[in-house]
Structure 1
Amino acid sequence: MAGIADAAPTGQQIADERAIRRRGITLFLLTLTYFFSYMDRQILAILLELIKADLKVSDTQLGLLTGLAFAIFYAGLGIPVARLADRSNRRNIITWSLAIWSAMTAMCGLAQNFAQLLIARIGVGIGEAGSSPPSHSIIADLYPAEKRAGAMGIYALGVVLGSGFGTMIGGWLAHLYGWRIAIIAVGIPGLLLAVVVRLFVVEPRRGLSETKPVSDEARPSLTQGFASLWSNHAARHLVIAVTLTSLIGYALTAWAPSYYQRSFGLTLPQIALILAPILAIVGSISGVVGGKLADRYGKRHGIHAQSWLVAILKTIAFPFALALYIVPNVHVALICYGIALLFQNSYLGPTFALIQGLAPLKLRALWAAITLLVINLIGLGLGPTMIGVLSDLYRPAMGAESLRFALLTMAGVTPWAIWHYWRAGVHLRNAANMPAPAQKAVA
């Protein structure tokens, strides 16, 4: 009996213990990678006016650079990368992706015309396609359901911190040395981070955080993956909700520096010192606290409360988001921006945690990739592009304020997203109240 009790742990048990022990550093490095992803992606926002003047391009062309041209390749490659991540080493995929997009970001600074810059941006999109789906899958395996929204909320810090620091660093470097040096300077450090990720991120066993044993059934096909997500009512509403939210968010974020430059006359250093810290600090507080609140309310009231919490917070933020593009005073506009951001930026952690919790274990990376495909084709692809087109269309009537009214139009889409978050909560609550066989059928 003593021999059995004192039996040495198996190799798998040792690996599992190591993965759990190092999940904090893994989450930190995945968040840092996501930070670089958004910094490299969003730095173009602070540089748009300089690029417009240097390369003689229209708002529509700028919208293509920040939106559709990047998103088509970023989103389109997400599915095959996710299929690869569902069957191979996710850490290595993230490492190579990080190295590729960092190198292509630096190449953007060498572009001499619109076509060259467009090709380099496509390269950034190709590289970044391999980051989020495997990262979501790793986090879901390292953190159990009751802690997953908080972990995803921390991971989502990469969005606001990357966007904020991209604006801050890009603004100052562009002011001092020009837009080309600014974009090269943020691309190169990612190559060093890729080495660190390869050395220190752990590759956990799939299903490590699950209390139920992982099935040995054959991996479902891509078609079955799409069908399984779409047939899940809660997941379908969550995907639509986060897509609409991203459509609005990508559009407003991409054009925010230009808005403050055109409508309020702020300089690049002023935007770097004022707008970027608000985005980084307030956005981070919103993301972390929102994820923690989602975990708490989900544990207390049921998982559906996480979706309803997002709907409530976005409803509070909505009037301030509209006021941002109506008020004529820059100080009032910045206050409205901070309040809106505080309440509306908490959606990513709970949303992706819910989707990962609903996904079959062997389809987690694929469900994440499908979600990101829709988000990025519609949100990232169309959002900034639509603002550029609307701004050009509004210019004959609105003149210099055409961008303001284009942004206000986009902000008005928010209630549609709120409705889908509410419906997702309804389906999650109904599924939780069903008997086990019926619940399985709905899922």
Structure 2
Amino acid sequence: MITPQTNDGSPVQFDSTVSRPRAWFAFAMIFLLMMSDYIDRQIIVSLFPHLKEEWGLSDKQLGGLVSVISIVVALGSIPVALLADRFGRVKSIFVMASIWSAATIACMFARNYSQLFAARAVVGLGETGYGSVGSALISALFPKRLHATLLGAFFGASSVGAVLGVVLGGVIAEHWGWRAAFGAVGFPGLLMALGFLLVPDYKNVIVKIAPTLDSKGPASHLTRMFKTLSRGPTMWVLCVAGSFQMIVVSAIWSWAPSFFNRYHGMPPATAAKYAAVLVLFGALGAMFWGWVADRISRERGANKLVMLCVTTSLTAALFIAAFTLALPQSSQFVLILAAASMMTCTVGVSVSAILDVTNPGLRSTGAAVHAFAINLFGLAVGPFLGGVISDHWGLQTALAVIPAAGFLASIFYWKASRSYEADARVAAGTVQQESPAEGTGGKADDAPLGGARA
């Protein structure tokens, strides 16, 4: 067993209220549930050929079955995170996982497109807030120097889950039909949800926003809450950057199986396996780039955002080349894999930066704001936009055009790198103000705007 160490060789310090084994058990369960989350999300893409044949669906309709989850996740992410910050993360995640697993099972009983669309929406309802609440749990149980690495692994689990979803969907549908695929992945999710009740939660840091004379109801309170989240522009710029990059990721993940099926003549199960390799490279890339980010940001935290400027640009260039140049199948696949290994570089690093600049009492909420943005303006856009472009100009054209969003992501990551250090210092100052109250076991007091007491 490898014991994490600091730069001088001493062991890293975990949350003093949770033992090291329990912290790593918590991470393992969080990782497994993220896999379950994306297995249930992505299994549908390997079933596209079967659904298209059986129900005569357009690519726009098929893309909608993926996009609806991201839309629902986006709309519910902030309210769910606020509840989790207030009432506990472990119980919240248990409820989420139970809902999305049960809804996945319900998909196998759909008799038409509308019923399947509704069931997929409920899957999204269950998955609402999981990424942000899980991120906050990791950031509380582990020291800061491990955050980008562990968050990269956590969000890398989404790629692993997407791999399994694509492969399992293709293989199961080939042998037992597409309906059986939903049941095969839904029931294990219910078991994992029950196991999550054994995970330790961390003590809530309650942020109470004091009313003012000019308060004008819920809208004013919400405005003040957002101002409390982060006092600078970094968080909002990161949300824009992440959204552009997730357009690329979601389009590639959703349409790769169909691309291999249509343009290279592969059977659906074989196309799913090729797409799974692509997604697996994304999972490895998320963990690798998180590891790199932790190391290059030791002296200057903004270095990890500068790194994202480079990797998002390279991702866009490689995908565009792969889908526009006249290349042999093997050469095209190599370029696609190279781009796939970088396209998920942002997931853990961007969230770790969000947590660095967010008020510690609102970490789940801060991560949820980011999740709202990347789901509604990124993950929901990619599959649907790909379907629309494909219906009019062909799938290869869609996959050649959409990756250009990575160049826009690069610009905004550079902009975020310019303000990150100042905003992180403000958040660190908030933590120092709270530290005398931490560990006292006393009851939380009302704190002024921007303050928090444990």
Q: Taking structure 1 as the reference length, what is the TM-score of the superposition?
A: 0.86
Q: Which residue of 2 aligns with 1:153?
A: 152
Give, in whole Å, the separation in 2 of the partners of 1:430 and 1:230.
Answer: 11
The CA RMSD over aligned residues, in Å, is: 2.5
Q: Which residue of 1 aligns with 2:252?
A: 252
Alignment of 1:275-354 (within 5 A): 275-280=275-280, 282-300=281-299, 302-326=300-324, 327-354=326-353
Identity of aligned residues (%): 29
Q: Secondary structure of the residue that 1:266 maps to in structure 2?
A: coil
Q: Which residue of 1 aligns with 2:387?
A: 388
- Please report how far the alpha carbon of residue 328 of structure 1 lies from its aligned counterpart in structure 2 after TM superposition: 4.6
Q: Which residue of 2 aligns with 1:7?
A: none
2:30 maps to 1:30? yes
Q: Which residue of 2 aligns with 1:269?
A: 269
Aligned amino acid, residue 321 of structure 1: F
Give, in whole Å, the separation in 1 of the partners of 2:425 and 2:129.
Answer: 37
Alignment of 1:423-438 (within 5 A): 423-429=415-421
Give, in whole Å, the separation in 2 of the partners of 1:113 and 1:183.
Answer: 15
Q: Which residue of 1 aligns with 2:395?
A: 403
- Please report how far the alpha carbon of residue 276 of structure 1 lies from its aligned counterpart in structure 2 after TM superposition: 1.0
* Residues 229 and 359 in structure 2, CA contact (< 8 A), matched pair in contact too: no
* Residues 106 and 187 in structure 1, CA contact (< 8 A), matched pair in contact too: yes
Q: Which residue of 2 aligns with 1:375?
A: 374
Query: Structure 1's 274 and 248: CA in aligned 2 closer, same or farther, altered over 3 A?
Result: closer
Q: Which residue of 1 aligns with 2:201?
A: 203
Give, in whole Å, the separation in 2 of the partners of 1:328 and 1:269.
Answer: 24
Give, in whole Å, the separation in 2 of the partners of 1:20 and 1:219.
Answer: 34
* Residues 314 and 343 in structure 1, CA contact (< 8 A), matched pair in contact too: yes
Query: Structure 1's 29 and 48: CA in aligned 2 closer, same or farther, altered over 3 A?
Result: same
* Residues 79 and 369 in structure 1, CA contact (< 8 A), matched pair in contact too: yes
- Please report how far the alpha carbon of residue 147 of structure 1 lies from its aligned counterpart in structure 2 after TM superposition: 1.7
Aligned amino acid, residue 293 of structure 2: A
**Structure whose residues are more often helix by fraction:** 1
2:94 maps to 1:95? yes
Q: Which residue of 1 aligns with 2:103?
A: 104
* Residues 249 and 343 in structure 2, CA contact (< 8 A), matched pair in contact too: no
- Please report how far the alpha carbon of residue 229 of structure 1 lies from its aligned counterpart in structure 2 after TM superposition: 5.1
Give, in whole Å, the separation in 1 of the partners of 2:401 and 2:306.
Answer: 25
Give, in whole Å, the separation in 1 of the partners of 2:409 and 2:69.
Answer: 24
Question: For this pair of structures, how many residues does the alignment match?
Answer: 408
Alignment of 1:59-208 (within 5 A): 59-67=59-67, 69-199=68-198, 201-206=199-204
Query: Structure 1's 277 and 161: CA in aligned 2 closer, same or farther, altered over 3 A?
Result: same
Give, in whole Å, the separation in 1 of the partners of 2:207 and 2:186.
Answer: 42
* Residues 287 and 347 in structure 1, CA contact (< 8 A), matched pair in contact too: yes
- Please report how far the alpha carbon of residue 205 of structure 1 lies from its aligned counterpart in structure 2 after TM superposition: 2.2
Give, in whole Å, the separation in 1 of the partners of 2:297 and 2:15.
Answer: 30
Q: Secondary structure of the residue that 2:298 maps to in structure 1?
A: helix
Q: Which residue of 2 aligns with 1:218?
A: 208
Query: Structure 1's 347 and 316: CA in aligned 2 closer, same or farther, altered over 3 A?
Result: same
Give, in whole Å, the separation in 2 of the partners of 1:413 and 1:71.
Answer: 18
- Please report how far the alpha carbon of residue 219 of structure 1 lies from its aligned counterpart in structure 2 after TM superposition: 4.7
Q: What residue ranges of structure 2 are gaps of 5+ in the alignment?
A: 1-13, 211-220, 434-449
Q: What CA deviation, in whole Å up to 9, does each residue of 1:358-392 have, x standing for no partner? A: 11011111111111111111112222111111112
Q: Which residue of 2 aligns with 1:18?
A: 18
Q: What CA deviation, in whole Å up to 9, does each residue of 1:313-362 have, x standing for no partner? A: 22233321112212453222211111112223221111000101111011
Aligned amino acid, residue 255 of structure 2: W
- Please report how far the alpha carbon of residue 25 of structure 1 lies from its aligned counterpart in structure 2 after TM superposition: 1.3
Give, in whole Å, the separation in 1 of the partners of 2:258 and 2:233.
Answer: 39
- Please report how far the alpha carbon of residue 45 of structure 1 lies from its aligned counterpart in structure 2 after TM superposition: 0.9
Q: Secondary structure of the residue that 2:86 maps to in structure 1?
A: coil
Q: What CA deviation, in whole Å up to 9, does each residue of 1:15-42 have, x standing for no partner? A: 9443544111111110111111011001
Q: What CA deviation, in whole Å up to 9, does each residue of 1:251-284 have, x standing for no partner? A: 221111111111111122322433313422x223
Q: What residue ranges of structure 1 are gaps of 5+ in the alignment?
A: 1-13, 208-215, 395-401
Give, in whole Å, the separation in 1 of the partners of 2:314 and 2:327.
Answer: 22
Give, in whole Å, the separation in 2 of the partners of 1:260 and 1:126.
Answer: 31
Q: Which residue of 1 aligns with 2:356?
A: 357
Q: What CA deviation, in whole Å up to 9, does each residue of 1:171-218 have, x standing for no partner? A: 11111112111122111110111111112x1102246xxxxxxxx752
Query: Structure 1's 432 and 152: CA in aligned 2 closer, same or farther, altered over 3 A?
Result: closer
Aligned amino acid, residue 173 of structure 2: A
- Please report how far the alpha carbon of residue 428 of structure 1 lies from its aligned counterpart in structure 2 after TM superposition: 1.9
* Residues 356 and 367 in structure 1, CA contact (< 8 A), matched pair in contact too: yes
Q: Taking structure 2 as the reference length, what is the TM-score of the superposition?
A: 0.84
* Residues 225 and 367 in structure 1, CA contact (< 8 A), matched pair in contact too: no
* Residues 85 and 133 in structure 1, CA contact (< 8 A), matched pair in contact too: no
